[in-house]
Amino acid sequence: MKLTDLTASMAAEKIKKREISVIELTKAYLERIDELNGTIGAYITVCAEQALRQAESVQKKLDSGEDILPLAGIPAGLKDNICTKDVKTTCASKMLDNFLPPYDATVTKKLSESDVIVLGKLNMDEFAMGSSNENSWYMPVKNPLDHERVPGGSSGGAAAAVASHMSCFALGSDTGGSIRQPASFCGVVGLKPTYGAVSRFGLIAFASSLDQIGPITKDVVDCAMVMNIIAGHDPLDSTSVDINYPDYTTFLNNDVKGLRIGLPKEYFGSGLHEEVKEKILDAVKAYESYGAIIEEVSLPFTEYAIPAYYIISSAEASSNLARYDGIKYGYRAKEYSDIIDLYKKTRSEGFGTEVKRRIMLGTYALSSGYYDAYYKKALKVRRLIFEDFQKAYQKVDVILGPTSPATAFKLGEKTANPLEMYLGDIYTVSVNIAGLCAISLSCGFDSKGLPIGMQLIGKPFDEGTLIRAAYTYESNTGKSGVTNCGI
Amino acid sequence: MEYEVVIGLEIHAELDTRSKIYCGCTTEFGGEPNTHCCPICTGMPGVLPVLNKTVVEYAVRAGLAANCAISSFSKQDRKNYFYPDLPKAYQTSQYDLPLCKNGYLEIEVDGSVKKIGITRIHIEEDAGKLIHDESGKVSYVDYNRCGVPLIEIVTEPDMRSSAEVKAFFEKLKSILEYTSVSDCKMQEGSLRADVNLSVRPKGQKEFGTRTEIKNLNSVRAIVRAVDGEARRQISVLERNGVIVQETRRWDDEKGESYSMRDKEEAHDYRYFPEPDLTPVVVDEAWLDKIRSSIPELPDERRKRFIAEYGIPAYDAAFITGSKPLADFFEAAAKESKNAKAISNWIMGDVMKKLNDTGLEPLDMPIKPESLSRLVSLIDENVISGKIAKQVFEIMWDTGEDPADIVEKEGLKVVTDTEEIRSIVIQVISANPKSVEDYKSGKTKAIGFLVGQIMRETKGKADPQAVNRLLKEELDKL
């Protein structure tokens, strides 16, 4: 077994027992990146020197007999929309190709305080807008399991890095499925925490009311361990919720007896690929055999989730992305005649097609005369979707369904039809709209050998139950990123 | 035809908080460009705002002082537009749910009292400042003011003349000063007004088309802009012209307004709720706490000054109009037996000095105790009123105590009868002609002789003693 095959918890154990050194482990990952990144394109920036320096200092701590934190010395990657002080943070956009943040995001700070080694910055769809990672200004990311296919998006680089063992774990961000869908396409574990559970300070905003940072890991144990580092109230983020956050590893119990699992009938209708449906229903049977109680539930407003999502997220994006005007940082057009011309050229040249499409969509939705018909109505739908879940949670503890209607598609297959691409988010966007938490984990493969992801959706701040249910499945089936990736 | 002018104001006041509205940067005025800012107030990618609670407290204080209803639940919204001084390309403000609404202030013009409605008071952030290079080709941006907290106060169109506008503005200014919400330093831009104005034939119910004059930053400019714009609109109507609804800029030097005609006119600000901030909730307990922190307001103070210090209503109104002035008066009058004299000094010499030097009452270089001692020195006949003016000048320049000045400069009234008598005799013998005139019944001549004596004593002789002794000596002749 290679060092890079180890999960974070396994590697951390070996580090503590002095079986491996932090430097050795970090070097193994850097070598793996050297070997694979050219093909996969998971990293935009690799911080080899910085990572080695940090590895040395953590190893020193260890050697001096200091107590170290659970994930000390574990190499990880950050999606390139998470600010890292003095390390290029680009959002995979030409607009921020030269942007060096003057500060660290709260999660970046937390990782470094936990002595996690930062390997580099991970590729993504530009400004996190996309479901295939084809919208990166740098290069599309390839699915490590099939290089002709997409890794999903927008945290495509993060999922691909973890699946191809170029990173022990990664932090992604999820606005409408951007952690869960790529985790599903790449056969790894991805958790979107409840809105407000993880600080957004330093996460370059796409849609402020939906964005949430979360872990992409090789297995569920790692997911719980990373959550222990990143979850918690942050006074720098007003939307961060001030409650007591549990030790998520206490939920790593192989026990779902009596757990009520709901299957929303709307998630199993037309549009869901037969092979995906089959594996999800197999997982349902497995849960039943572990002692869970399965019930059908209904989320009647599901069909309105996609339009509401694209209105709300685009509206917020149109405002959040207005600051990229060529004045203060980032790209500025070379030639311009006056300030208006400077804005126009900078933004026309600096943003990619999908970003511009959403800015226009969002600007339109907020315009006077259209606000009530689009934005206000979308907010009403948001409320109704939330109430759908509230009703369902009176009957069940957790909701189970597919993460995505199909497995990873081919590069270029959907780029010509953005609407078709948007419809692939059907099972993930509701979770963001309602501010819930959800985890995606692998539950088998289709006939082409591509991983299929199942999604467990939990009540607000009930990540613990998701971790327990996912851990139970993983423990009984052995299906996780480590064993199934097969590269 | 007779016209009626209809005016409403939108006033921006910078709040006197120590830190900015959404970050910990200082709000201090001045400072080298871009030294009072951080990633948050310069809108760096990924930053988030955190509302400064003191901003809410100050705005609520202003709202309570202006008789507003305070919303227990309000929210903040984004006002989107592109401009280089606005680093996020949106201003965080309040749109449909402001913090304070439905208030009023009472003003008094020509002896009659009138209520001016206040539609709303909301909180928002200030923008930065553009500095244009002399070449005209380059502009620089200074973000120091970005994120300095403001309240915007919007009135009903209840004012009908520049006198009413002036009275309202001054009343509001004094309230903001009294509640310590804003330092109201107009020359630093802490307080500025937009004037909305329309005219209509007297008796007509419908409003005429209004124009908005932006960014007036002195009372004089506001008054002149109101009068000037009213004249302009009336003359347009009298030539059968049409008033265009537009934003205009007032050129105070030329005394006329002109159309701004820029693209700002066509703005659709696309307001929507700020997703990075949670609603502003003011519960009863907090509201009570803020309410109890509101000090005595100008109207109450005016009444109290009349009752407590026995100064005339006019004096009380004048002095209480400015909190620093009223504080100064009260501190001086407390120490004095002659409050009226203190008020005379403030309304006279102190105001003249402030006007001449362009100083704000807050920056007054003399201490209230000093003025009160100066008045005592006069009342106790230690110095004459004329000498007092001299002492006041020195006090203003040096900040020294008046008694010390009198001592050092030897300005004490000469009450020594013998000393005065010898000067009287000296003057009499030096001016035989005037003595002659006096003796022949020209009583005016005595004034000349008194003047000569005072000159000899450098004004320090006790005038009563001079008069008495001069008559005695003349009668002896």
Contact A367 B87 (CB under 8 A): no
Residue B434 and residue B381 share a domain: no
The answer to whether residue B408 neighbours chain A at the CB level (below 8 Å) is no
A485 — pLDDT class (breaks 50, 70, 90): very low
Each residue of A184-202: b (16+ CB within 10 Å) or e?
Answer: bbbbbbbbbbbbbbbbbbb
B396 plus B306 within the same structural domain: yes
Distance CA B287, CA B114 (A): 28
The answer to whether residues A279 and A452 touch, using CB atoms and an 8 Å cutoff, is: yes
Write down the pTM of the prediction. Answer: 0.88
One DSSP character per residue, B83-125 reads -TT-TTSEEEE--SS-SEEEEEEEEEETTEEEEEEEEEEEEEE
B319 and B381 together in one domain: yes
Task: Name chain B contacts of A204, Cβ cutoff 8 Å.
Answer: 45-46
Reported as a single tens digit per residue, the pLDDT across B97-119 is 999 999 999 999 988 999 999 99
Best of B25, B42, B44, B51 to mutate (most A CBs within 10 Å, chain A) = B44
- Examine the residue annotation and report whether A356 is marked as an active-site residue of this protein: no
Query: Pairing state of beta strands A437-445 and A451-458?
Result: antiparallel
The answer on pLDDT for B263 being more than 60 is: no
Instruction: Flag whether residue B316 sits within 8 Å of chain A, measured between CB atoms.
Output: no
User: Quick check: A330 and B96 in contact, CB under 8 A?
Assistant: no
Look at residue B261 in the predicted model and tell me its pLDDT: 65
How far, in Å, CA of B242 to CA of A258, rounded? 78
Is residue B436 in some structural domain?
A: yes
- Looking at the fold, whether B401 and B432 belong to one and the same domain comes out as no
- Residues B348 and B376 placed together within one structural domain of the fold: yes
Among candidates B141, B271, B276 on the partner chain, residue whose Cβ is nearest the Cβ of A208: B276
Domain-located, residue B423? yes
Indicate whether B232 belongs to any domain.
no
Instruction: Give yes or no: residues B45 and B183 share one domain.
Output: yes
Q: Is the Cβ of B89 closer than 8 Å to some Cβ of chain A?
A: yes
Inter-axis angle of helices B385-398 and B402-409, to 10 degrees?
A: 110
Query: In chain B, positions 8-47, which contact chain A (CB-CB < 8 Å)?
Result: 39, 42-47
B447 and B325 in a single domain? The answer is no
Write the CATH number for B471.
Answer: 1.10.10.410
State yes or no: pLDDT of A479 exceeds 70.
no
| Cross-strand pairs, B150 | B14, B124
Q: Are B395 and B440 found together in one domain?
A: no
Using the beta-carbon criterion (under 8 Å), do B39 and A91 form an inter-chain contact? no
State pLDDT tens for residues A250-305: 999 999 999 999 999 999 988 899 999 999 999 999 999 999 999 999 999 999 99
Q: What class is the A3-260+396-484 domain?
A: alpha beta
Count of A-B CB contacts under 8 Å: 100
Q: CA-nearest residue of chain B to A362?
A: B270
- Taking contacts as CB-CB distances below 8 angstroms, the residues of chain B near A327 are 84, 87, 141
Q: Using alpha carbons, select from A203, A187, A184 the residue that is nearest to residue A195.
A: A203
The catalytically annotated residue of A79, A110, A142, A459 is A79
Query: Quick check: B277 pLDDT over 80?
Result: yes
Q: Which amino acid is at A92?
A: A
A79 is an active site residue: yes
- Give the residue-averaged pLDDT of B174-188: 91
What does the pLDDT read at residue B265? 52
Nearest CA in chain B to A343: B82
B217 domain residue, yes or no: no
State pLDDT tens for residues B292-342: 999 999 999 999 999 999 999 999 999 998 889 999 999 999 989 999 999
> Where among B390, B409, B428 does a domain terminate?
B409
Domain boundaries, given as residue ranges, for chain A:
3-260+396-484
Cα three-residue angle A87-A88-A92, rounded to 5 degrees: 145
Q: How many domains does chain B have?
A: 3
Final residue before a domain boundary, out of B409, B425, B455: B409
Domain stop point among B365, B387, B409? B409
Q: Give A336-350 pLDDT, tens digit per residue.
A: 999 999 999 999 999
Mutate to test the interface with A, among B48, B95, B274 (most CBs of A within 10 A): B48
Q: List CB contacts of A272: < 8 A, sequence separation 6 or more.
A: A402, A405
The shortest C-alpha distance from B324 to chain A (Å) reads: 37
Q: Which domain holds residue B26?
A: 9-187+267-288
Q: CA-to-CA distance for B86 and B78, rounded, in angstroms?
A: 12
Mean pLDDT of B224-247: 94
Report the relative pairing of strands A189-192 and A169-174 from DSSP bridges: unpaired
Give a yes or no: residue B108 inside a domain.
yes
B324/B428 same-domain check: no
Same domain, B170 and B36: yes
Q: Is residue B210 part of a domain?
A: no
Res. A484: pLDDT tops 50: no
The answer to whether the CB atoms of B272 and A83 lie below 8 A apart is no
CB contact under 8 Å between A339 and B42, yes or no, is no
Choose from B25, B85, B133, B272 for mutation: most chain A CBs within 10 A: B272
Q: Which residue of B has its CA nearest to A313?
A: B275
**Considering CB atoms only, which of A238, A322, A327 is closest to B277?**
A238
Judge if B445 and B398 occupy the same domain. no
On the question of pLDDT at B224 being above 80, the answer is yes
| Residue B5 confidence (pLDDT) | 97
Claim to verify: residue B113 and residue B136 sit in the same structural domain: yes
Alpha carbons A256 and A396: distance in angstroms, whole number: 13
CA distance A280 to A293: 16
